[in-house]
Amino acid sequence: MIDETVRWALREDIGAGDVTTRACVPADQRARGRFLAREPLVVAGLDLLEVIYRERGGVDNLAVLKRDGDRCQAGDVLATVRGRARTLLECERVALNFLQRLSGVATAARAFADEVEGTGCRVLDTRKTTPGLRLLEKQAAAAGGATNHRMGLFDAVLIKNNHIAAAGGVRQALENARTAGVPIEIEVRTREELREALAAGAGHLLLDNLTPEEAREWVREIAGRARVELSGGIDLSNVRAYAEAGADFVSAGAITHSARAMDISFRLELDPPAIDIERLRREFPGRTIVHYPKLDSTMRATTGLEAGAVVLADEQTAGQGRHGRSWHSEAGAGIYCSTVLKPSPVLTLALGLAAAEAIAQVSGVACDLRWPNDVMAGGKKVAGILVQLVDGAAIAGIGINVNQTAFPAELAAQATSLRLAAGREVSPTDLLIALLGAVDAFAAEPPEAILRLFARASSYAAGRRVTVELPDGAVSGTTAGLTPEGFLILRKDDGTDTLVIAGGVRAAGS
């Protein structure tokens, strides 16, 4: 039923296609969006987002951050979504229409429910709903604190004056209605009808269009023999007076028929430019370049590929770092690349040099190299190298943080991106072209040249106070150059030297 309503709304708005979006937004452009409350409100309709996006082919991620019925303040983010920009744009209006209207109903219901708080009287909604949206508006009313009255003409009897006239009287109408097997309520308009209904065993009475004072008198006469609902002209200014008249329920059509669409906005941010694979292939003709939009890790996708082949992913779900750590691989924000190379003892150092050179060339950011595999910008890591030997080949993994604008809290102190360091967006395609060229160039250099170049490019290679995590604990000292195998020499404070063969180096005091 709800799926059908959503489909109907999408069909009504999108029809044969969103011609504007198709004309202006590239099919592979990705984006993220946020639904924001722009005034205090009670939110409802959030479950529909999942249905809306599913109907349009799905999104990468939808995070609903509030629950229906939550009170929200201006500026609160209700939900975030990531996916194709086309999908987000074509669904925007329908998603907002549902959220704005249903939150309006929930907000109105909350205002009525708050107004009668402490009286023991409950606020009922009515059938005065938008055609086609009965179920959703009733769910929103309930989320806002109202109690649902009957859903339609099928699930409860409500005998009004025309029914009484047609049935031949109050008693007759009640007797006939009992065969329906659903709850029965009867409207009484005079004291005589009231007495007749009570005598006929009515358990639920509707009193319409009384003043609060009249209602109090009628309730006194009923004296608990039936439950009482008051209706007619009930609004926020008088609902408490009606509730205090002793009624069990007050019903207010205004909750649905006069609910205002709440101010909720959708903010869209386009993802930075994606990698232009065709351009890359033109720059490196004859080279195998495999591209995946999403992959666990590019390190695992090089099997069977020849030397020089490159695997790229826009996003990694299980990006690998050194020493079993993970590599944060936000979709579309970084370069996640593995390439098959000839093994060399100084390959990690050569690739760090290549990454630093490509970064400087394309973004202007000058990097330091923290032995052996960290590429640093402004004291934070901007790129990392991971080399694995598989079947006699070196699988070289290079991760560069390119256009991230923020990092998860646990990484924020040590990670940065080129965009943050350079203060502008950087083209991942330009960077990859420079990187692959630099990898080719540095991988062809003899080890002595790499050691010399690394020693020149890295403030960590010699004369730097560092702390190193060794298997039997942290050791402090001063770096004293590299061995021919590329190991780091650490001169400890007692004057003796020790060789550092794996990572774990950090500037002393950091």
Longest CA–CA separation in the chain, Å? 112
Nearest-approach distance from CB 6 to ligand BTN, in angstroms: 38
283 in active site: no
Least Å from the CB of residue 403 to ligand BTN? 15
384 binds ligand BTN (CB under 6 A): yes
Q: Who's near 202: CB < 8 A, 6+ residues apart? A: 170, 174, 184, 186, 226
DSSP state for residue 10 in the 8-state scheme:
H
Work out which of 203, 212, 321, 481 binds ligand BTN, going by CB under 6 A.
Answer: 321
The whole-angstrom separation of Cα 117 and Cα 254 is 18
* Piece in contact with ligand BTN (CB under 6 A), picked from 255-263, 380-388, 435-443, 473-481: 380-388
Both tokens of 435, joined, read 């990187």
Of 509, 504, 507, the closest CA to residue 469 belongs to 504
Task: Please identify, using beta-carbon distances, which residue of 144 and 319 lies nearer to ligand BTN.
Answer: 319
Crossing angle of the two packed helices 191-199 and 170-177, in degrees rounded to 10: 40
192 has catalytic annotation: no
332: contact with ligand BTN by CB under 6 A: no
129 lies in the binding site for ligand BTN (CB under 6 A): no
Q: Which of 71, 127, 160, 171 is catalytic?
A: 160
Give the nearest distance from C-beta 123 to ligand BTN in angstroms: 56
Structure tokens at 11: 């069909």
Cβ closer to ligand BTN: 344 or 414?
Answer: 414
At residue 456's C-alpha, the angle toward residues 339 and 364, to 5°, is 65
316 binds ligand BTN (CB under 6 A): yes
Is 187 known to be catalytic? yes
Exposed (0-12), middle (13-18) or buried (19+): which is 401, by Cβ within 10 Å? Answer: buried
Rounded to 5°, the CA angle 142-143-144 comes to 90
Using the rule CB under 6 A, is 404 a contact of ligand BTN? no
Q: Given the complex with ligand BTN, which of 72 and 386 has the nearer CB atom?
A: 386
Catalytic pick from 34, 71, 127, 128?
A: 128
Question: Which window, 189-197, 322-330, 404-412, 426-434, contacts ligand BTN (CB under 6 A)?
Answer: 322-330
DSSP H or E run through 469: strand 462-470
Question: Is residue 452 annotated as a catalytic residue, yes or no?
Answer: no
Of 53, 218, 266, 336, which one interacts with ligand BTN (CB under 6 A)? Answer: 336
Taking CB under 6 A as the rule, does residue 399 contact ligand BTN?
Answer: yes
Residue type, 52: I
Residue 155 CB burial class (10 angstroms; 0-12, 13-18, ≥19)? exposed
**Whole-angstrom distance, CA of residue 133 vs CA of residue 2:** 9
**Contact stretch for ligand BTN (CB under 6 A) within 23-31, 76-84, 379-387, 423-431:** 379-387
CA neighbor of 432 nearest in space, from 286, 289, 271, 272: 289
Burial class (CB in 10 A: 0-12, 13-18, 19+), 455: middle
Residue, CB closest to ligand BTN: 384
d(CA 35, CA 76): 9
CB of 218 or CB of 336, closer to ligand BTN: 336
Q: Does 373 bind ligand BTN (CB under 6 A)?
A: yes
Separation CA 400–CA 381 (nearest Å): 9
- 128 is an active site residue: yes
Q: Candidates 67, 325, 452, 456: give the one binding ligand BTN (CB under 6 A).
A: 325
CA distance 263 to 322: 48
> Of residues 13, 47, 70, 208, which has the active-site annotation?
208
**260 counts as binding ligand BTN under rule CB under 6 A:** no
319 lines the binding site for ligand BTN (CB under 6 A) = yes
The tokens describing 40, both together, are 């205090």
Tell me whether strands 249-251 and 227-231 are parallel, antiparallel or unpaired: parallel
338 scored as a contact of ligand BTN (CB under 6 A): yes
The answer to the question of residue 327 lying near ligand BTN (CB under 6 A) is yes
Choose between 320 and 429: whose C-beta lies nearer to ligand BTN.
320
**H or E segment at 115?**
helix 85-115
Per-residue x/- marks for ligand BTN, 273-302, CB under 6 A? ------------------------xxx---
Catalytic residue of the set 18, 92, 187, 229: 187
Q: Active-site positions?
A: 93, 128, 160, 187, 208
* Interacting residue ranges for ligand BTN, rule: CB under 6 A: 297-299, 316, 319-322, 325, 327, 336-338, 373-374, 384-386, 397-399
